[in-house]
Amino acid sequence: MTYRVCLVCMGNICRSPMAETVLRRTLDEHGLGERVAVDSAGTGGWHVGDPMDERALRTLSEHGYDGSAHRARQFTSGWFDRYDLVLAMDRDNLSFLRRIAPDGVEVLLFRSFDPAARAGAEVPDPYYGGPEGFEEVLRLVEAASEGVAKHIADEID
């Protein structure tokens, strides 16, 4: 049985695909890669089918990650039954996901799994900034991915 996770941001070309790539590796490092499927999507559909933002891809590549296969997708309410865990990158997307979620489905912030993060901490959108924003996103998703991996290990064991 595969545990399934979906990471969600606005357009699915920066934050959530970076987090997807990082979380996949983190799960592999924890011996969970064969038991967990990781996906990402956006709440908006304007980038559907597009590759990851080249700045996000470059940042990942510079740190030894490969996000080249990513293509943007849009999260819809029908997807909730596909996933065991849905994580939003920020409060706006969290609010949207909670509005469309069926009763009883819990959606959480990705950074809620980072023990060093304050309550309600977000992964900021780097889209309108420079390379330092993408570096910050990478640092934040690496930290939270460790906590997500530990949470999933507890859930499936």
Q: What is the pLDDT of residue 157?
A: 84
- Please provide the average confidence, as pLDDT, over all residues in the chain: 97
The pTM of this model reads: 0.97
Domain containing residue 44: 3-137
Give domain status of residue 105, yes or no: yes
Give domain status of residue 130, yes or no: yes
Q: List the one residue out of 127, 99, 112, 118 whose CA is nearest residue 9.
A: 127
Give domain status of residue 116, yes or no: yes
Give domain status of residue 78, yes or no: yes
Total count of domains within the chain: 1
Catalytic residues: 9, 15, 125
CATH number at residue 12: 3.40.50.2300
CB 44 within 8 A of CB 11: yes
Give domain status of residue 150, yes or no: no
For residue range 54-68, list pLDDT tens digits in order: 999 999 999 999 999
